[in-house]
């Protein structure tokens, strides 16, 4: 009868031989948790998009990657968290291009009013002419570009309608932190006053500001509609959003994990994300009116008056951004020609 010790040794040798013959990828890597930040509040399209993305990542990676979501600016405002992603303290996030311009200044040119004739032209130009230079520019900052999304349409808010650009002449305007905003308001004859995003509501209440350019997707959720109840639909611009990841965090993933993450990103193309946000905007405008607020629709001729007043300010705005901004602005021109063909 064979010795039991011999059988045990033989079994161990056979098991070891079988394990050694398995492909390396069969030995699963430890699960990775990626922290994702967004300033968007709960029950908004951005958070719903994030929830779907987290589910897709989990499914595509078979549990090897988990997304830990921090919504409603839990980790800080956009200006803080984009810097934290650049430094590797946060792994991923969804941002306005205005926030990402803090690490890639040329992105500020996308906030220039009336750059595009329509959403369709904007989407085409950004996808075909802006994605590549932005991807390369962010890579130099240690940030991986993942895709475009949407922030919303920029309109004019205050306590009265602003039908004509002359209506803001002499008023106190809440200016964003970038110089483009100050150039815009100065060019329209208003007095720009840099106001932090968390201070705008009190600034309207105290009379520190009379007017602001704002996206409806922030206007209602933030409660600004309570202190500046009139929204004039000038449609100054359509603000893109951007999804990014710290490059070092991505580099730590295995090849299989990277592929799974890429598949999850590809499941939600930019066109789908943009449409969801644009549909949400109309829902918010309807809610504003139902709540007693006012939405003023300007005519095509009135909007053209705004455009004619603002377009001559473009060169000064681009100059404020610098040489990289001028290069991106030229890329936009090339993209328009490409998209028109």
Residue 28: the pLDDT is 63
Question: Is 5 a residue whose pLDDT tops 70?
Answer: no
Say if 270 falls within a structural domain.
yes
Residue 186: the pLDDT is 97
- Measured CA to CA, the distance from residue 129 to residue 324 in angstroms comes to 14
Q: How confident is the model at residue 43 (pLDDT cuts 50, 70, 90)?
A: confident
Say if 21 falls within a structural domain.
no
Say if 8 falls within a structural domain.
no
- Measured CA to CA, the distance from residue 192 to residue 314 in angstroms comes to 17
Say if 23 falls within a structural domain.
no
Work out the average pLDDT over 267-282: 94
Q: In Å, how far from its chain's centre is CA 264?
A: 18
Beta-bridge partner residues of 154: 215, 237
Residue 18: the pLDDT is 35
Q: How confident is the model at residue 198 (pLDDT cuts 50, 70, 90)?
A: confident
Say if 222 falls within a structural domain.
yes
CATH number of the domain that 78 lies in? 3.40.190.170
pTM: 0.87
Helix (H) or strand (E) holding 192: strand 191-194
Question: Is 17 a residue whose pLDDT tops 80?
Answer: no
- Measured CA to CA, the distance from residue 293 to residue 285 in angstroms comes to 9
Share of the chain above pLDDT 90, in %: 85
Say if 48 falls within a structural domain.
yes
Work out the average pLDDT over 268-273: 93
Burial 211-227 (b: 16+ CB within 10 A, else e): bbbbbbbbbbbeebbeb
Say if 261 falls within a structural domain.
yes
Q: How confident is the model at residue 162 (pLDDT cuts 50, 70, 90)?
A: very high
Which SS3 state, helix, strand or coil, does residue 244 take?
A: strand
Say if 320 falls within a structural domain.
yes
Question: Is 10 a residue whose pLDDT tops 60?
Answer: no
Model confidence pLDDT, tens digit, residues 103-154: 999 999 999 999 999 999 999 999 999 999 999 999 999 999 999 999 999 9
Question: Is 16 a residue whose pLDDT tops 90?
Answer: no
Model confidence pLDDT, tens digit, residues 281-322: 999 999 999 999 999 999 999 999 999 999 999 999 999 999
Residue 179: the pLDDT is 85
Q: In Å, how far from its chain's centre is CA 6?
A: 65
222 or 260, which is more confident: 260
Question: Is 200 a residue whose pLDDT tops 70?
Answer: yes
Model confidence pLDDT, tens digit, residues 61-107: 999 999 999 999 999 999 999 999 999 999 999 999 999 999 999 99
- Tell me how many domains the chain contains: 1
Residue 7: the pLDDT is 35
Q: Which domain holds residue 109?
A: 31-340
Which SS3 state, helix, strand or coil, does residue 79 take?
A: helix
Lowest mean pLDDT among 14-18, 181-185, 280-284: 14-18
Tell me the Ramachandran region of residue 142: left when phi exceeds 0, alpha when psi lies from -120 to 50, beta otherwise. Answer: left
Q: To the nearest whole number, what is the mean pLDDT of the chain?
A: 91
């Amino acid at each position: 009868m064979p010795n039991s010790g011999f059988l045990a040794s033989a079994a161990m040798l056979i098991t070891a031989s079988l394990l050694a013959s398995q492909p390396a990828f069969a030995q699963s890597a430890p699960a990775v948790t990626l922290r994702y930040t967004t300033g968007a509040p709960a029950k908004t399209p951005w958070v719903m998009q994030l929830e779907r993305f987290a589910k897709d990542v989990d499914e595509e990676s078979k549990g090897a990657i988990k997304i830990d979501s921090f919504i409603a600016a839990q980790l800080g405002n956009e200006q803080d968290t984009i810097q934290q992603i650049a430094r590797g303290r946060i792994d991923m996030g969804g941002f306005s291009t205005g926030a990402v311009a803090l690490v890639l200044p040329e992105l500020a040119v996308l906030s220039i009013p009336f750059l595009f004739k329509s959403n369709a032209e904007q989407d085409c130009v950004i996808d075909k002419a802006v994605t590549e230079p932005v991807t390369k520019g962010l890579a130099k900052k240690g940030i991986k570009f993942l895709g475009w999304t949407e922030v919303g349409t920029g309109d004019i808010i205050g306590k009265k309608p602003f039908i004509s650009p002359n209506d803001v002449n002499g008023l106190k305007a809440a200016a964003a932190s970038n110089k483009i905003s100050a150039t815009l308001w100065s060019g329209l004859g208003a007095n720009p006053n840099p106001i932090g995003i968390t201070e705008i509501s009190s600034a309207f209440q105290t009379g520190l500001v009379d007017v602001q350019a704002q996206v409806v997707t922030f206007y209602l959720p933030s409660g600004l509609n309570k202190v500046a109840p009139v929204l004039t639909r000038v449609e100054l611009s359509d603000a893109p959003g951007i999804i990014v990841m710290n490059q070092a965090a991505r580099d730590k993933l295995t090849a299989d994990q990277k592929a799974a993450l890429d598949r999850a990103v590809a499941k939600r193309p930019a066109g789908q994300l943009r449409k969801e946000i644009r549909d949400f905007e109309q829902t918010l405008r309807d809610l504003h009116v139902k709540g007693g607020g006012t939405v003023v629709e300007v005519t095509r001729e009135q909007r053209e008056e705004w455009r004619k007043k603002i377009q001559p300010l473009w060169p000064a705005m681009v100059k404020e951004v610098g040489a990289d901004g001028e290069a991106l602005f030229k890329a936009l021109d090339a993209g328009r020609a490409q998209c028109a063909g």
